[in-house]
Amino acid sequence: MPPTWFAYLGPEGTFAEAALSRVVGTSEGRRDPQPSVAAALAAVRSGEADAALVPMENSVEGSVPATMDGLAYGDPLVITREVFLPVSMTLVARPGTALTDVRSVASHPHAIAQSSRWLADHFPGVTPLPTTSTAAAARAVADGEFDAAVCAPIAAERYGLATLVEDISDHPGAVTRFVLVTRPGQLPEPTGNDKTSLVAVVGDRTGALLEMLGEFAVRGISLTRIESRPTRERLGVYSFSLDCEGHVLDRRVGEALAALHRVGDEIRFLGSYPRADERQNKPVPETARDGAFADAEAWLARVREGEAS
């Protein structure tokens, strides 16, 4: 059954809520805002929610460590969809506040970073303060804790705030990638334009990373993202979070993951799902198509049976 109960990084009015609206209609299913990425993922693991919508990476600030680590550890979860949301930073305040009245500004650290130059130019004596989300900053402004917040336009509507400046982003065109995660179950069918995500831990030995990457290269599989994270065991041991083109049901991708399981210290499959960034996967070489794998296996079977090759 498709998910009907969704957790997301809250409170109401976050970019995550806006991204969730692209996945399901506003009248479809129940939506529960959560105070953190960890809480949203925990709601899925406990069965309180069917799925969670959380931020994975931003085109300006990079990956979201809470999501990367939250998927790498704990009971397994899998990504079933990705959503790309254009991010426009809006400066909001209580009605009647003028730009010259602003003495304090708050927002999520990523939002502050994405508008830091504008904030420094217009509020040189103000140090922006971090909050758990852009919507939490907007709610705090509504409660009188801060003069202004950097947030999504949806947050201004939710908390009855006035827009002082519509777009203060230092990098116009910024995009945040969100992922919808569920407990493991039936995989989405291959579409021909898919991604597969996983986390791999390789040993502290010479050539370990090259060995891992080679399993993709020899099968003609392109990586779309690779990042290292500390395993928290000791210095020198890292996990690698990566996305590759293709679906685990594709023979070449399945073989690559099986090979990683054989040579790596630990592999965690994070899902195969339709690609949503409006790009097309690179053409698959003839030698890496499923038919080529089937022909090679049939040839090997004949050789093992003693037939002439």
Tens digit of each residue's pLDDT (9 = 90 or more) over 227-262? 988 877 766 677 899 999 999 999 999 999 999 998
Q: How far apart are CA 83 and CA 52, in angstroms?
A: 12
Q: Residues 6 or more apart from 108 whose CB is under 8 A from it?
A: 130, 131, 132, 133, 134, 136, 137
The pTM score is 0.86
The predicted pLDDT at position 309 comes to 63
Q: Residues 6 or more apart from 155 whose CB is under 8 A from it?
A: 13, 14, 90, 92, 134, 135, 137, 138, 139, 149, 161
pLDDT at 112 over 90: yes
Q: Which string of DSSP letters, residue by residue, matches 91-155?
A: EEESTT--GGG---EEE-HHHHHHTHHHHHHH-TT---EE-SSHHHHHHHHHTTS-SEEEE-HHH
Q: How far apart are CA 289 and CA 133, in angstroms?
A: 44
- pLDDT, mean of residues 113-130: 94
Give yes or no for a contact between 19 and 85, defined as CB atoms under 8 angstroms apart: yes
- Of residues 237 and 222, which shows the higher confidence score? 222
Q: How far apart are CA 25 and CA 211, in angstroms?
A: 44
Tens digit of each residue's pLDDT (9 = 90 or more) over 82-95? 999 998 899 999 99
Half-sphere exposure of 84 (CA within 13 A, CB side): 10
Torsion on CA atoms 158, 164, 169, 173, rounded to nearest 10: 60
